[in-house]
A and B are shown apart, each in its own frame.
Chain A
């Protein structure tokens, strides 16, 4: 029996409205007591956490693992060790065409690799369509048995609304939530930058906001009609936040997330053809970014995720339009989320909520909280240290981050899964 006594940490646990300096006692991987030591408690180990924040482990709703299939970009072993250093204790693996997660064999393979990594835990978002080709339903029953927590078509199109509707109903039959990234592919038409003055000046094919809003409006009608539950992934425009707000007011069973970079970067950041800022959805206008921030502040947007998309160097070394989309983002998820607090956008409680229990709720997991009886996935965070993001310090195999040169207050010093400290660096 292992036990752990975390001494005088500032426990910030928004799921239970906790923000106090206290002692936490962990036994057998779960939180045993908060405050007073229980009778007969024997310490194996004491951590003096004076001055540190004790946070629930972060649950990241979107990570592209790249494995199996694209090990030149990243491996599960490596990236899950990066995630743990970044305070992330659970990630959701998104399906993509070269690693579609459309069979139980693939799920088993990912699970084996993740367990062997002995780091961050991986939850699986299975493919909605076979091979993500958008033509035939995947064997969702088998995927569910193998343990996937939701299904998604990722960034890939679904051929026809009839098929989309049927896939929603079938997934709902199996009680699988749909993760839907609102992109109307027929409007996308080869675009690569937010439609507006910047894309026009650079001569880059535009992506209008209607690419997202028409897909979203259509999906909301289908949600209403089929009464299925849908999670909207990676919102990028002001109008989408408005649509979501209306849908929630109507009581539709919908949730949404936003990628952390979308709350900071705008179309201005691509103005020297910076391929590191080539993302899908694209970086939008300042007005859109502000509306996304407002959406997080008011709770219309439920969660913030990394949308981690590591790339090999070559993927970004080309003219903008030809470069691959996505940002390597595990290491900036928590720092950027906390930067929102410094900038007065949201409270510290809200910030932690958006990356812990609220994201866990979306995948129906009772994670992201440190109440008594909960599995002790936790992070110790030192608010007095500094974190420099640079090529030298960046750990992910994917070096495609536009945040090199940014400095952040605070740093993760320890991360534990089920009471076991896996990462520690004072």
Chain B
């Protein structure tokens, strides 16, 4: 559904099913934007209107999408929909149809339910590109791509790498998209590391090895990806306390020694210091967390430019 008939991206909903070549193309395109040090505006999306539809709150993702659109010369409107129409009882479908009637060209969607971006792509007017900025526990493909870019900047090739994703895999759309991206790019080994309560059933079918012991999981890793642990996980019997979580799964300097010497530490943010990661690691020399943020803008520019041209090509053919 996200590909045009010529194989170009017209929506960007999930990494699943995309070819390694297409993922490389996104990364290359982002590199180009990064290398433009003068930060001049690119005219790629001049005259286009992008709508940021955030049904769930977000600071980082929303802001980087706004910046990305502006640097591509698009007009951007951000709607905080939590506080408007849907809370007055309007259905998602009606919201989308109304916004679709306003002559915009792209929706950037963040929604609390899995599959919402697919749903919107299926039901919005045909000329609109939909970019998934996170849906439920399903996917967060731009986050995964910016992580891939960060890894590629530090490690030449994905094939020999051992990558570990640590934390709340069960509720994480980031983890799912990272797994799809890493396996598509032929990463040597992908591990998920968490207590059994935070590992969803059948995750190994996505091509990962499951570890419940932090020390065993960290052994010999090239890339350590920490996930944010939300406070509400302490309810409902998933975890007893933040303190216990940190003692068993927190990333400390001592534990980092188990990974390769040149291993990098990543985190999609926002960081809970002292819960999943020690400040000395988060701010340490192996941390690339802030670089991830900068890469986020370039990736979002790349995906916006590519989907817009894919969609235009599709329309021209019709």
Indicate if the CB atoms of A200 and B202 lie closer than 8 Å: yes
A322 at the interface (CB under 8 A from B): yes
Indicate if the CB atoms of B202 and A196 lie closer than 8 Å: yes
B116 at the interface (CB under 8 A from A): yes
A318 to B120, CA, bound (A): 9
Known contacts A197-B205, A318-B93; is A206 also within 8 Å of B113 by CB? Answer: no
Distance (whole angstroms) from the CB of A190 to the closest CB of chain B = 10
Indicate if the CB atoms of A203 and B114 lie closer than 8 Å: yes
Task: Kindly identify which residue among B119, B123, B201 contacts A196, using a CB–CB cutoff of 8 Å.
Answer: B201
Q: Identify which of B131-139, B261-269, B275-283 touches chain A.
A: B131-139
A195 to B135, CA, bound (A): 19
In this complex, what residue of B is CB-closest to A189? B236
Known contacts A200-B201, A201-B16, A206-B201; is A319 also within 8 Å of B119 by CB? Answer: yes
Chain B residues within an 8 Å CB radius of A197: 201-203, 205-206
B85 at the interface (CB under 8 A from A): no
A236 to B73, CA, bound (A): 54
Indicate if the CB atoms of B113 and A200 lie closer than 8 Å: no
B173 at the interface (CB under 8 A from A): yes
Distance (whole angstroms) from the CB of A154 to the closest CB of chain B = 25
Indicate if the CB atoms of A321 and B114 lie closer than 8 Å: yes
Indicate if the CB atoms of A203 and B173 lie closer than 8 Å: yes
A199 at the interface (CB under 8 A from B): yes
Chain A residues within an 8 Å CB radius of B176: 200-201, 203
Contact with B along A173-192 (1 / 0, CB 8 A): 00000000000000001000
B111 at the interface (CB under 8 A from A): yes
Chain A residues within an 8 Å CB radius of B201: 195-197, 199-200, 206, 208
Task: Kindly identify which residue among A195, A196, A198, A321 contacts B113, using a CB–CB cutoff of 8 Å.
Answer: A321
Contact with A along B134-160 (1 / 0, CB 8 A): 011111000000000000000000000
Chain A residues within an 8 Å CB radius of B114: 202-204, 273, 319-321
Known contacts A195-B201, A199-B201, A206-B200; is A320 also within 8 Å of B115 by CB? Answer: yes
- Count B interface residues, CB 8 Å: 27
A58 to B93, CA, bound (A): 39
A126 to B173, CA, bound (A): 43
Chain A residues within an 8 Å CB radius of B115: 202-204, 273, 319-321
Chain B residues within an 8 Å CB radius of A314: 91, 93
- A-contacting residues, B96-138, CB 8 Å: 111, 113-116, 118-119, 123, 135-138
A379 to B175, CA, bound (A): 55
B92 at the interface (CB under 8 A from A): yes
Contact with A along B48-68 (1 / 0, CB 8 A): 000000000000000000000
A314 to B119, CA, bound (A): 13
Size band of the interface chain A makes with B:
20 to 34
- B-contacting residues, A240-292, CB 8 Å: 272-273
Contact with A along B150-179 (1 / 0, CB 8 A): 000000000000000000000001001000
Distance (whole angstroms) from the CB of B233 to the closest CB of chain A = 14
A46 at the interface (CB under 8 A from B): no
Task: Kindly identify which residue among B91, B113, B136, B206 contacts A317, using a CB–CB cutoff of 8 Å.
Answer: B91
A320 to B135, CA, bound (A): 11
- A-contacting residues, B193-246, CB 8 Å: 200-203, 205-206, 236
A204 to B206, CA, bound (A): 15
Indicate if the CB atoms of A203 and B93 lie closer than 8 Å: no
- B-contacting residues, A318-343, CB 8 Å: 318-322
Chain A residues within an 8 Å CB radius of B202: 195-200
Distance (whole angstroms) from the CB of B143 to the closest CB of chain A = 14
Indicate if the CB atoms of A272 and B118 lie closer than 8 Å: yes
A189 to B235, CA, bound (A): 13
A318 to B119, CA, bound (A): 7
- A-contacting residues, B7-50, CB 8 Å: 16
Chain B residues within an 8 Å CB radius of A321: 113-115, 136
Distance (whole angstroms) from the CB of B6 to the closest CB of chain A = 22
Chain B residues within an 8 Å CB radius of A205: 137
Distance (whole angstroms) from the CB of A2 to the closest CB of chain B = 52
A294 to B173, CA, bound (A): 37
Chain A residues within an 8 Å CB radius of B200: 199-200, 206
Task: Kindly identify which residue among B118, B206, B236 contacts A200, using a CB–CB cutoff of 8 Å.
Answer: B206
Chain A residues within an 8 Å CB radius of B173: 203
Indicate if the CB atoms of B92 and A319 lie closer than 8 Å: yes
Indicate if the CB atoms of B113 and A320 lie closer than 8 Å: yes
A203 to B132, CA, bound (A): 14
Known contacts A196-B202, A320-B113; is A203 also within 8 Å of B135 by CB? Answer: yes
Chain A residues within an 8 Å CB radius of B206: 197, 200-201
Chain B residues within an 8 Å CB radius of A198: 202
Indicate if the CB atoms of B91 and A319 lie closer than 8 Å: no
In this complex, what residue of B is CB-closest to A270? B115
A204 to B92, CA, bound (A): 18
A195 to B202, CA, bound (A): 8
Chain B residues within an 8 Å CB radius of A206: 200-201
In this complex, what residue of A is CB-closest to B179? A201
Chain B residues within an 8 Å CB radius of A204: 114-115, 136-138
Known contacts A197-B202, A200-B202, A203-B137; is A319 also within 8 Å of B123 by CB? Answer: no
Distance (whole angstroms) from the CB of A401 to the closest CB of chain B = 18
In this complex, what residue of A is CB-closest to B171? A203
Distance (whole angstroms) from the CB of A301 to the closest CB of chain B = 26
Task: Kindly identify which residue among B1, B123, B136 contacts A203, using a CB–CB cutoff of 8 Å.
Answer: B136
Distance (whole angstroms) from the CB of B65 to the closest CB of chain A = 20
Distance (whole angstroms) from the CB of B136 to the closest CB of chain A = 5
Chain B residues within an 8 Å CB radius of A196: 201-202
Chain B residues within an 8 Å CB radius of A199: 200-202
Distance (whole angstroms) from the CB of B56 to the closest CB of chain A = 12
A196 to B173, CA, bound (A): 16
In this complex, what residue of A is CB-closest to B122? A273
Chain A residues within an 8 Å CB radius of B1: 272
Task: Kindly identify which residue among B119, B123, B205, B236 contacts A273, using a CB–CB cutoff of 8 Å.
Answer: B119
Chain A residues within an 8 Å CB radius of B92: 318-319, 322
- B-contacting residues, A6-59, CB 8 Å: none
Q: Which are the 6 A-B pairs with shortest beta-carbon distances?
A: A197-B202, A203-B138, A203-B137, A273-B115, A197-B205, A319-B113
14 contacts between A and B (CB under 8 A): A195-B202, A200-B203, A200-B205, A200-B206, A201-B206, A202-B114, A202-B115, A206-B200, A206-B201, A272-B118, A273-B114, A317-B93, A319-B136, A321-B115
Given A201-B206, A203-B115, A319-B113, 13 extra CB contacts under 8 A: A197-B203, A197-B206, A199-B202, A200-B203, A201-B16, A204-B136, A273-B114, A273-B115, A317-B123, A319-B116, A319-B136, A321-B113, A321-B115
Query: What is B's interface to A at a CB cutoff of 8 Å?
Result: 1, 16, 91-93, 111, 113-116, 118-119, 123, 135-139, 173, 176, 200-203, 205-206, 236
